[in-house]
A and B are shown apart, each in its own frame.
Chain A
Amino acid sequence: MGLAAVISLAPVLWTVSTSFKNQLEAQRYPPSLLPQQVKLSNYTDLFTDSDFHAAAVTSIIVTVCVTVLVLAVAFPCAYALVRLNAYGSKLVLLLIALAQTVPAIVVLIPLYSTVAKFHLYDTRTALVLVYTGLLIPFSTLVLMGFIRSVPVEIEDAALVDGCGRLKVLLWIVLPMARPALATAAVFTAIYAWNEFLIAAVLGGERARPLTVLISHFVSQKTILWGPMTAAVCLVLLPVVVVVVLLQRQLVAGLAAGATKG
């Protein structure tokens, strides 16, 4: 156990330590465990870099939009799949299974030329739309598992009292489903923040999230370790904060998101 914890953390801590070293110290071998002089310049350089700014803004906007959109669309969808035996259910489940097993690159190459045809190449709109499509399945599965676990009698009572389905969904199921919605939101937000391939294919200079920006560090001849590790740490920081604070939601969502329950 202890060994596993060390193996989990040591690489991250090593990277954090390097991000505070100056270029000379970062390239020295044997390396120093802790920076001899704590340098903030790797970070301050990034904060004043306009490309980094733009990428951070793109990452944040896309993450927020995708999370809101996915929940707004997946919640009624999950309800219709579990409770209403809706027309089209089979097709939706088929598409969910496809999205979970077929590699993203399979849909991204055709999307690349299609998106260009609609003048959406290198726009945040395209990123939000495609991220949403690929992240709907996970949230739908999480929410389906939850809705199935709630007794149907409460809804039936409301229906007898003359409530429409929409009212039942918004006034009865929605308040109860708040924990499941939180779980789905946390996962969706992290996945959207982490996404790289979609943005690498469908985004250019304008719609470039942080993941794509930092990937350019390795394509340079000499890798600047200090700035690179600092950028990596900044991308990882929000994820680590969320994981530590919302541990319980994450563990709950893991099993629920893999199956229909």
Chain B
Amino acid sequence: MATTPAAGESAPPRRRLQRRGRRLSGLAFLSPALAILLIVIALPMAVGLYQSFTDMALTRPGAPDLVGLKNYQSRVLTSTFARAAGVTASIMVLSLAVQLPIGYYLALGLSRRIPGTSLFRTILTIPMMLTPVAVGLMWRFLSDPDLGFIRWIASLVERSAHPNLLGSPTGALLLIVGVSAWSHIPFVTLMLLAGLLGVPDELYEAAEVDGADRWRQRWHITLPGIAPVLLIVCVMRLAGDYRMFDLVYTVTNGGPGSSTRNLSMLAYFEGLQYYQIGRACAIAMAMAVLALPAFFAYRKVAKL
């Protein structure tokens, strides 16, 4: 945006007019995008905020009444909401803890420019771009307790093994974390790889001359070098797992019981299974508030 230095108050009037003309033609260029973003992002958030204070429900005809904070009391300040928030947080933290180290390790491997890395890169990119719903269905099938791939793998280790991940709360949660890792590690890897390749080789050579060992090089050169990318990856992955829906919906559908029902699922069920729009909007608004740290962090690291 800093294509021209900001001219002071004393800029000649002609120049100022030109600048205004440029900024106005810019407005014309971005107005279609702005209009769509307002309709699809800003307007619904405002409508949602209003609806969260009403008893709007599609099961009941007639105009909705204002009910104040009732929806927040009955749907947000509850143990059900707290449990869903806990599930969401567990998925976010565990996923990041799995994805960062493995992604980093793979990025290191790919950065060594051994022949064949481009093939590996292609293979690694595939899971990342695959349709999440289809991936979820695929893993629902692979983890089927009676005939799935996971049972088969387990039986290679121990003949009588009969794991039922979908039947146990911890197992189901770990399965979600695993599927998320399977599909998102490629993103982490490729981002960190770009970061690693951006660190100038001369720094390592200089450190070599100074006699710094591998670990010191990692700590003092690699880490600061990839820190900006690392931050972006963390924010993007946390935001991504916070909003996760497709995978949970298809792999466990929130079960067993409500053990993997995250916030997105909770809001979805309230709104589209029970048609309680007012209550669902209260959950959605609480979700938006909880996303604020990610929003500010993202603006900062992405320089928006």
> Are B36 and A136 touching (Cβ within 8 A)?
yes
> Are B26 and A218 touching (Cβ within 8 A)?
no
> Which of A109, A110, A229 counts the most B-chain CB atoms under 10 A from its CB?
A109
Contact (A193, B194) CB under 8 Å given A84-B25, A113-B58: no
Q: Looking at the complex, which one of B51, B140, B272 makes contact with A218 (CB distance below 8 Å)?
A: B140
> Are A112 and B277 touching (Cβ within 8 A)?
yes
Contact (A73, B137) CB under 8 Å given A87-B24, A100-B298, A102-B288: no
The docked-state distance in angstroms from the alpha carbon of A194 to that of B301 is: 27
> Are A1 and B106 touching (Cβ within 8 A)?
yes
> Which of A97, A129, A137 counts the most B-chain CB atoms under 10 A from its CB?
A97
Chain A: which residue is nearest B246 at the CB level? Answer: A196
> Are B142 and A243 touching (Cβ within 8 A)?
no
Contact (A31, B152) CB under 8 Å given A109-B271, A134-B40: yes
Q: Is B146 an interface position by the 8 A CB rule?
A: yes
- Report the interface size for chain B: residues with CB under 8 A from the other chain: 102
Q: Looking at the complex, which one of B47, B147, B280 makes contact with A28 (CB distance below 8 Å)?
A: B147
> Are A29 and B131 touching (Cβ within 8 A)?
no
> Are A136 and B33 touching (Cβ within 8 A)?
yes
8 Å CB interface, B229-255 against A: 229, 232, 236, 239, 242-243, 245-246, 249-250, 253
> Are B277 and A113 touching (Cβ within 8 A)?
yes
> Are B249 and A97 touching (Cβ within 8 A)?
no
Q: Looking at the complex, which one of B30, B45, B137 makes contact with A110 (CB distance below 8 Å)?
A: B45
Which stretch from A9-17, A48-56, A174-182 is at the chain B interface?
Answer: A9-17
> Are B27 and A95 touching (Cβ within 8 A)?
no
Task: Give the size category of A's interface with B.
Answer: 35 or more
Chain B interface (Cβ within 8 Å of chain A)? 1, 3-4, 19, 22-34, 36-45, 47-48, 51, 56, 58, 106, 109-110, 118, 120-127, 129-134, 137-142, 144, 146-147, 149, 151-152, 155, 182, 186-187, 190-191, 194, 229, 232, 236, 239, 242-243, 245-246, 249-250, 253, 263-264, 267-268, 271-272, 277, 280-281, 284-285, 287-288, 291, 294-295, 298-299, 301-304
**23 A-B contact pairs sorted by A residue (CB < 8 Å):** A8-B182, A11-B142, A31-B152, A84-B22, A85-B23, A86-B23, A87-B26, A92-B33, A97-B295, A100-B239, A106-B48, A110-B277, A112-B272, A137-B37, A165-B22, A194-B133, A196-B132, A211-B131, A211-B246, A232-B137, A236-B134, A247-B118, A259-B232
- Closest 3 CB pairs between A and B? A86-B26, A133-B40, A84-B26
